[in-house]
Amino acid sequence: MKDNRPHVFVLATGGTIATRGSSPSETTGYPERQGKKEGVGLLAEDLIASIPGIEERVRLSAESIFNVSSSSIEEGDLLRLAKRVNALLKEDVYGIVITHGTDTLEETAFFLHLTVKSDKPVVVVGAMLPATAFSADGPLNLYHAILTAAKPESRGKGVLVCMCGRLLSARDAAKTSTFRMDAFKCMEYGALGHVVGGDVRYYYAPVRPHTASSEFYVEKLDALPRVEIVYTWQGCTKELLKAAVEGGADGIVCAGMGCGAIPPEPREYYRGLSKKPPLVRGTRVFSGYTAAHGATPDDVYGTIPAGDFTVQKARILLQLALTVTKDIKEIRAIFQKY
């Protein structure tokens, strides 16, 4: 008899969702019982076992590609993950769920949003509480993510973040709290949909290029351009920016003030450089849009406005942009496009 259940592949990478605390009440400060070594922390099969009955609705495969805290994920891990996802999506897989630590979940999801070359569903999910905690959120989040990956309406939506019942575009999802269960939100644009009672519902769809329509390819990449983030504050000097430049950064993102203003000393230092790595003006403000700014006009200083990207996402987009062009005008156009 033909099995009509959609085939969902669960890729585990570690994180709080795969962590055991020492007691049910330990919800913060739990040690990092994970590492690069296989078998440390809960593996993909363990996570699936936490949601009994799910295989009545989907056919599951599972793999632990690595098992680390997301604060320990490196760019080589991102490339490995993206290549594995692209390889799996060429097979008999309806959708993919990636379990991930929440510290850098938004960065991994956005990287995949720009580098996955398929319109099949890819859903990134994590947990705010370890697996051993009272009312651990990991099993329900994973259940929702698997249902989302199996839903026909999830195709073509780009990479999704599924947390606390919300379905968020990876382009805009951000962790907004260090401890609240509903930490993940899209501050400016809101959720694409939600999962309630096992029912996946969408109300909106992303319109900016992503996944199969992006121009970024990772298959032949062994490394990514080095892009640093430099913070600003009242009266800040040029020293951090200078260190990034002299340290050989391929590009720099500045967490500027307000609408991306760079203070006088660092901006004049950058302006005076004979050879400049591309500099993207982002903002240290929690949300909003970095547009043209009178204090740091882009045509004078040769800078690139980040638009509505957070500095950590602007860094990822600049890294990928530098794999296709070094031209400042073309990089500006990429930031406007995505």
| Residue among 235, 229, 245 nearest 280 (CA) | 229
What CA–CA distance (Å, rounded) separates 92 from 45? Answer: 20
What CA–CA distance (Å, rounded) separates 281 from 296? Answer: 9
16 counts as catalytic? yes
What CA–CA distance (Å, rounded) separates 79 from 221? Answer: 8
Coil, strand or helix: which one is 98?
A: strand
Output helix, strand, coil percentages for the chain, rounded to the nearest 5. Answer: 30, 20, 50
Residue of 16, 108, 296, 303 with catalytic role: 16
What CA–CA distance (Å, rounded) separates 11 from 160? Answer: 15
| Residue among 196, 158, 183, 188 nearest 172 (CA) | 188
Coil, strand or helix: which one is 287?
A: coil
> Measured between alpha carbons, how far is residue 281 from residues 30, 48, 134, 186, 259 in Å?
36, 42, 43, 21, 9
Catalytic annotation, residues: 16
